Structure 1
Amino acid sequence: MTEPRFRVRARHTPSTVTVYQAYRPEIGGPAASSGRFPAAWKRDRMTWIKPSFLWMMYRCGWGTKEGQETVLAIEISREGFEWALRHACLSSYVRGLHPDQVTWQRQLRRAPTRVQWDPERNLHLQSLPYRSLQLGLSGEAARRYADEWTVAISDVTPLAHEIHALVRSGDRDAAARLLPQERPYPAGDDLLSHLRP
């Protein structure tokens, strides 16, 4: 079956959704050990969360890029995730979806969350023909994410390194078996109609 170009895929349970971020060890380590973002984590800055493990690996170079050495899996409440989608604006103007550029710019300024759809990646971090959701959280959304939505934080850097080593050695099947199981998220038109280009 052909994968839709725009669909949310994530590891999820009846109550949570897993998203990924990568930080320098001084932030990632304390966050994973306490299950909460430390004081050094800035609630007044935009933070991007990614439900796709492989897109996160593309972004952080399997946890090797400077400042992104600690890869975190953050379980957040589905209520929070869906609030973020409902209050989001696309990060770029789309003719036909937005009435005009001025209206889109006004929506973008007011929205506490924004959405980008970037090419999903395979195990070799090459682009796939369908898109992966990135959610940018700012202001109220960033504060809710850190203080209300976060259920658990775990350090998945060793997993990232193990999968990367298997890919480099050519054992693609073993690498694929270790990947987090991401399934289509049951997001209907009420959540996504204003976010699909």
Structure 2
Amino acid sequence: MMKEFEIRADYNRDNIVVYQSYNDQIAKPAMINQKFSAPFSFSRMTWIKPSFLWMMERSNYGQKSGQECTLAIHIKREAWEKALSKAILTSPEKRVYPNPGIWEKDFESAEVYVQWDPERNIKGNKLAYRSIQVGISRYLIEEFNEEWIVKIEDYTPLVKKILHFTKSGAYDKAKKLLPTEKIYPLSSKLAQTIGAII
């Protein structure tokens, strides 16, 4: 049985895959250079998401304006866990912050934010458990770009294939194309920090 708050991701011993979607002007240079460059903004928050289907819900399978290209960004697991260790939830959940005043103070100076949103299935329906998205603030974006990223892959053709099958109702065929995601192991301390209390 799925717990309400747990990370599911495509990962191996060293790296974890997170997803972002952009327009051609940002995605194509990122693919060529294997890192981001202008017009990617280094002065605002960037959100990374390990759930492929949540990303599909967010971008409507690449059909939303400015989100036509889906990138699979492989980052170092040590960097991912560093980000989680610095994270503050976007709301003062009592299970994590018994004292809302401390949350408010920490929120103002946070370098990383965590938000839990309802996970989605292949049909876009909300599920009973949640998916994590991690906001990297402008204070860490350069480090994210220069040190965390191992590889950037273009998943846009894959997204188009999955969309083609879902539009025709061939959900079984679509499911076979989904990236394999499994529960990501967390220390008790990290789980507490991000609100995924074990």
TM-score where L is the length of structure 2: 0.95
CA displacement at 1:97 relative to structure 2 = 2.3
Structure-to-structure mapping, 1:15-164, within 5 angstroms: 15-164=14-163
Aligned length: 196
2:20 and 2:72 in contact (8 A); partners too? yes
Give per-residue Cα distances to partners, 1:75-115, cap 9 Å, x unaligned. Answer: 00001100000000000011242132221111111221010
Q: CA deviation at 1:193?
A: 0.7
Contact 1:9 1:184 in 2 (8 A): yes
Cα distance in 2 between the residues matched to 1:191 and 1:103? 18
Q: Distance in 1 between matches of 2:132 and 2:152?
A: 20
- 1:43–1:146 contact (8 Å) kept in structure 2: no
CA contact (8 A) 1:5 1:129 kept: yes
* Counterparts of 2:99 and 2:43, CA distance in 1: 29
4+ residue segments displaced more than 4 Å: none
- Output the CA distance in 2 between the equivalents of 1:98 and 1:88: 13
Q: What amino acid does structure 2 have at the position aligned with 1:26?
A: Q
Q: Which amino acid aligns with 1:166?
A: F
Shift of 1:18: 0.2
Distance change >3 Å, CA 31–CA 4, structure 1 → 2: same
Most deviating of 182-191 and 45-54: 182-191
5+ long unaligned stretches in structure 2: none
- SS for the counterpart of 1:193 is helix
Q: Which runs of 5+ in 1 are unaligned?
A: none
CA deviation digits over 1:14-69, x for unaligned, max 9?
10000000011100111112211113212221000000000000000100101111
Kept in 2, the 8 Å contact 1:84–1:141? The answer is no
Could you tell me how far apart the structure 1 residues matched to 2:169 and 2:18 are? 27
AA in 1 matched with 2:174: A
How far apart, in 1, do the equivalents of 2:151 and 2:96 lie? Answer: 36
Scaled by the length of structure 1, what TM-score is found? 0.96
**In the superposition, relative to structure 1, how do residues 25 and 98 fare at CA in structure 2: closer, same or farther (>3 Å)?**
same
Quick one: distance in 2 between partners of 1:107 and 1:152? 32
